[in-house]
């Protein structure tokens, strides 16, 4: 087979693979209502059925009137970091929920627990300034430790999502 013919066949094969990849990606994005994930609407979180209990807890919880999911679970330091964390979480959530590879009950990762902690302090910093001044709160850097038992949520587990399971 000549070099030109081989190059032509490889380009056809690469085009077919690219088309299948882009087509399946577009189909998945549309069928999963991908644009809804760009919004600030908390009902988007229940696109994954596993999040129903957390959503219902938030709807009946104390923060319902003042905060949505993104207010607590995404950083507010700059828009680029916010989009990066949102995209990273979206990737990890879709992978875990598609492959059914997640713990029950769902556990927050240390990096996301730090975002959550930072947002608690962003809204309530003036109120808890004396408590946090001693540096006794915080999220563990060791990923094997349960991050949801540290910081503000150590004592206030039911604030965001209602009663714990």
Angular region, 109: left φ>0, alpha ψ -120 to 50, beta rest? beta
- Would residue 164 count as lying in a domain? no
How far CA 106 is from CA of 30, 76, 164, in Å, comes to 26, 24, 11
CATH number of 149's domain: 1.10.3820.10
Provide the residue-wise pLDDT of the chain in tens; the chain has 165 residues.
Answer: 788 888 999 999 999 999 999 999 898 888 877 788 888 898 888 877 778 888 898 888 888 889 999 999 999 999 999 999 998 988 888 888 888 888 887 788 888 988 998 999 899 988 887 777 766 565 555 555 555 456 788 788 788 887 655
One domain, residues 72 and 112: yes
Range of the domain at 43: 38-154
One domain, residues 17 and 64: no
| Domain count of the fold of the chain | 2
One domain, residues 8 and 54: no
């Amino acid at each position: 087979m000549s070099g030109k013919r081989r190059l032509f066949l490889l380009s056809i094969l690469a085009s077919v693979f690219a088309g299948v990849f882009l087509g399946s990606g577009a189909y998945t994005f549309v069928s999963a209502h991908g644009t809804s994930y760009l919004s600030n609407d908390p009902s988007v979180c229940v696109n994954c059925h596993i999040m129903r209990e957390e959503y219902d807890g938030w709807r009946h919880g104390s923060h319902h009137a003042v905060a949505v999911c993104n207010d607590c679970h995404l950083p507010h330091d700059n828009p680029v970091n916010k989009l990066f964390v949102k995209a990273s979480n979206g990737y990890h959530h879709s992978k875990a929920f598609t492959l059914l590879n997640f713990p029950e009950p769902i556990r927050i990762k240390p990096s996301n627990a730090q975002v959550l902690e930072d947002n608690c302090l962003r809204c309530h910093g003036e109120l808890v300034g004396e408590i946090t001044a001693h540096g006794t709160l915080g999220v563990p850097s060791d990923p094997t430790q349960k991050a949801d038992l540290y910081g503000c949520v150590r004592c206030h587990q039911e604030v965001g999502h209602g009663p714990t399971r």
